[in-house]
């Protein structure tokens, strides 16, 4: 663990190198607090994709995981995209391969493929639409009702979208994020006992999301205090809600920003062990080294990039 003085020195040097390289630092809401605090743009996957598409910087330092840096590279073929730790992967993205998707498509040749942003560039290139948790419902609703849909790779997000849209002709890949899948209904129940008046904010990827939707429909969870939201949606709700206590069912990294923006409110993790080891791989020394040495460039072949660009553009346009 570096000291406060060490971190101050690292931050100062990072800012110097960022200026030298005309770089922008994008960071996901699940990153370490010190990484969140140096970001030019901090947000969920959709926010960061939009920022990557709009930036005038020459270098994009992506403090997130590999598929996010790939998305930035797809959107910016003339810019340098750096990932401070090349081993920062994603268990959800790894749950489906290009071969898997092609085999699945062969069984449903007329279906539209909707890929969650948490996928490889190759899988995106084989898709018709991309989506994030904040716009997945809108993306599915934009597709004609008679059209079959293959939704991948997260089964919990897929179940949430299917229930919200009422689509009967939607097939869902059985993948999961191991961190979110580990947040169980029992976790929520246990925390609710200690904070019965709190609002419950649930990420749709969570293992508790399907049961929570059922309990919500049965009136066993308070409708006015239970919300399924993206990480960006959670941050907005935390700021705008009159509630003073919130149970947060997602990766715990988001608590830093919530507490920073709302010092008079209390935020409780539904499961304190919901920590993504890949997100936590990015550190201040690695960001500095990446900038200084132009280290860990993430690129995508032009063939894949051109094909993957369309579903990503559709995702950004749908909003």
pLDDT digits over 215-263, tens only? 776 677 778 888 999 888 999 999 999 999 999 999 999 999 999 999 9
| pLDDT of res. 91 | 92
Query: Six-digit token pair at 245?
Result: 């206590």
Residue numbering of the annotated binding site for [4Fe-4S] cluster: 90, 177, 276
Nearest to 156 by CA among 204, 203, 227: 204
Domain 183-269 homologous superfamily, CATH? NadA-like (3.40.50.10800)
Question: Options 3.10.20.30, 2.40.10.10, 1.10.1240.10, 3.40.50.10800; which CATH number does 93-178 get?
Answer: 3.40.50.10800
Nearest to 118 by CA among 207, 46, 171: 46
CATH number of 4-90+279-299: 3.40.50.10800
Identify the bridge partners of residue 60 per DSSP, sorted by sequence position. Answer: 24, 81
Identify the bridge partners of residue 247 per DSSP, sorted by sequence position. Answer: 200, 268
Residue numbering of the annotated binding site for iminosuccinate: 28, 45, 116-118, 133, 203-205, 231
Residue numbering of the annotated binding site: 28, 45, 90, 116-118, 133, 177, 203-205, 231, 276
| pLDDT of res. 205 | 86
Distance (Å, rounded) from C-alpha 127 to C-alpha 114? 6
Distance (Å, rounded) from C-alpha 251 to C-alpha 217? 25
pLDDT tens digit string along 66-86? Answer: 999 999 999 999 999 999 999
Distance (Å, rounded) from C-alpha 233 to C-alpha 298? 29
How many of the other CB atoms lie within 10 Å of CB of 99?
A: 9
Q: Each residue of 245-271: b (16+ CB within 10 Å) or e?
A: ebbbbbbbbbbbbbeeebeebebebbb
């Amino acid at each position: 663990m570096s000291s406060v003085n060490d971190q101050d020195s690292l931050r100062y040097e990072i800012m110097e190198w960022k200026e030298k390289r005309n770089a922008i630092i994008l960071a996901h809401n699940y990153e370490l607090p010190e990484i969140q605090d140096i970001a030019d743009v901090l947000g969920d996957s959709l926010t960061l994709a939009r920022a990557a598409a709009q930036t005038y910087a020459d270098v994009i330092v992506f403090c997130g995981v590999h598929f996010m840096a790939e998305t930035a590279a797809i959107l910016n073929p003339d810019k340098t995209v750096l990932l401070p730790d090349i081993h920062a992967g994603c268990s959800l993205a790894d749950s489906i391969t290009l071969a898997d998707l092609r085999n699945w498509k062969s069984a449903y040749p007329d279906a539209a493929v909707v890929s969650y942003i948490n996928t490889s560039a190759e899988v995106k290139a084989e898709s018709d639409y991309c989506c994030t948790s904040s716009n997945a419902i809108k993306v599915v609703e934009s597709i004609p009702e008679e059209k079959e849909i293959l939704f991948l790779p997260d089964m919990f997000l897929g179940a949430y979208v299917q229930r919200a849209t009422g689509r009967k002709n939607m097939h869902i890949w059985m993948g999961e994020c191991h961190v979110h899948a580990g947040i169980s209904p029992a976790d929520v129940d246990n925390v609710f006992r200690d904070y019965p008046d709190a609002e419950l904010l649930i990420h749709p990827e969570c293992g508790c999301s399907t049961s929570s939707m059922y309990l919500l429909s049965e009136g066993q969870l308070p409708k006015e205090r239970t919300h399924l939201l993206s990480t960006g949606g959670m941050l907005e709700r935390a700021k705008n809600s009159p509630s003073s206590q919130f149970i947060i069912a997602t990766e715990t990294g988001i608590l830093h920003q919530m507490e920073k923006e709302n010092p008079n409110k209390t935020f409780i993790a539904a499961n304190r062990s919901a920590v993504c080891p890949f997100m936590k791989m990015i550190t201040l020394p690695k960001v500095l080294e990446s900038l200084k040495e132009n280290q860990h460039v993430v690129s995508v072949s032009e063939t894949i990039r051109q094909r993957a660009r369309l579903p990503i553009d559709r995702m950004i346009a749908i909003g």
